[in-house]
Amino acid sequence: MAAGAQGRPIVVGANHRSSTVGLRERMFLDEAKTSLLLTKLAEEGIAQAIVLSTCDRVEVQSVVDDPVPHARTVRALLTEASGEPSDVVANQLYDHCDEAAVRHIFAVASSLDSQTVGEPQVLGQVKEGHRFSQGRGMVGAELETLLQASYSVAKRVRTETDIGLHSVSIASAAGRIARDVQGDLTDARLLIVGLADMGDIIVEQFRTAGATNITMSGPSRRTETAARRAGYGFVPFDRFDAALRGAEIVVAAAGAGRHLITAAAMEQALVARRRRPVLLIDAGVPGDIDPDVAELEGAFLFSLEDLERVALQGRSTRNVAADSAWEIVDQEVAAWRRSRAGRGAVPAIVALREHFETTRNTLLAEEPGADAAEATRLLINRLLHQPSRAMREIAETETDNRANYGGTAEQLVRRLFNLGAKKDGNEE
């Protein structure tokens, strides 16, 4: 990036509007893959970037010197991560640049770009991506400033609108249903099956509601490590049936491509439990629980679509608040634009001061005996020499837009030095 040049924000990614669930699942980046992507971005000259990888989106937010080639680079890397042909992925990716990128980044942090507008989790996801990139030296001053601005926007949206009111997220809907089915969750035994992001969000909602007895199981070999990292209990998958019999709440989020909980296995668990109710939430993509489980006495099965329908009940109020939130976002984008313009003028102002000081020192060295009045006259003439010549050259340039060009230069000088406007062809 050239000295004094300002980086340009870009965003490239796929979200719930632009892409299929299947593509986002294949594109999903765990910690190791995120680290590898950041390394590849740095190798391609993208030194400032964060990565967001959630159930709603997989995207790269960055600040670069040249948006067009760098956007192509990010597109190629995300396509590579998906394992899909480029022609399949191309139309499901979006890219935003400059103000459009800033607006998108502000909207994401404010949860206006989420499937469930107003969900509180997304800001934490942005901050986690921020911390992860920071730890790898991928957050420079410009990206830091932009991200901090997005947090301020999110705070304004939360404080000045009702977007955070009412339980309209899928996770909060799950929490409400859990309390309806099981009552107080303090002593409820919660079984997690799998590692998907949406499952984590739902479980976090249960923890907020008081659930502490949490056990994890699943077919992946990473499950035990994940359980230990989160502070959960762990049950090997070959002992899963026993864990199922002891659970009041089951959150399946493996997306294994097969039914990990069959109707037969659930029936046996319910018999062992003497039909005490079990809440089952299938957050897997594709589903992990046999839909026939819903027909069993004592089993209360909810898919993500079911939770979405519950969430819709409170969404009308939040949609009204979203209109006000977008107004805040647009105000802050305009403020960012003004701030950026001000920062862009600083190098020129510094250079102008240095030029004036150099000219003054040179003149004093050349005219050591000049009194104050003479020195001032000589300094003014010398400082105005080059600008006067440049304005004459502009006025004399033989181009079709000569008059506009010269007039613009003159207007700029008048504005810079508060000279007033021309009136009837004469200076005021």
Which positions are catalytic?
55
* Axis crossing angle, helix 141-160 with helix 121-134, rounded to the nearest 10: 170
Residues 60, 53: Cα–Cα separation, whole Å: 9
Judge whether 261 and 280 are in contact, CB under 8 Å. Answer: yes
Long-range contacts, stretch 361-364, CB < 8 angstroms, 24+ apart: none
Question: Burial, 386: exposed, middle or buried (Cβ in 10 Å; 0-12, 13-18, 19+)?
Answer: exposed
In terms of Cα–Cα distance, which of 173, 201, 177 is closest to 188? 177
Residues 254, 266: Cα–Cα separation, whole Å: 17
Q: What is the DSSP string of 216-280?
A: EE-SSTTHHHHHHHHT-EE--GGGHHHHHHH-SEEEE----SS-SB-HHHHHHHHHHTTT--EEE
Residues 289, 301: Cα–Cα separation, whole Å: 9
Residues 247, 278: Cα–Cα separation, whole Å: 7
Residues 122, 129: Cα–Cα separation, whole Å: 11
Q: What share of the chain is helix, strand, coil (3-state, %, to 5)?
A: 60, 15, 30
Tokens 């020499």 found at? 385
Task: Calculate the dihedral angle through the C-alpha atoms of 355, 358, 361, 365, rounding to the nearest 10 degrees.
Answer: -120
Please count the other Cβ atoms lying within 10 Å of the Cβ belonging to residue 64: 26
Q: What is the DSSP string of 379-401?
A: HHHHHHHHHHHHHHHHHH--STT
Judge whether 8 and 143 are in contact, CB under 8 Å. Answer: no
Tokens 């105000």 found at? 331
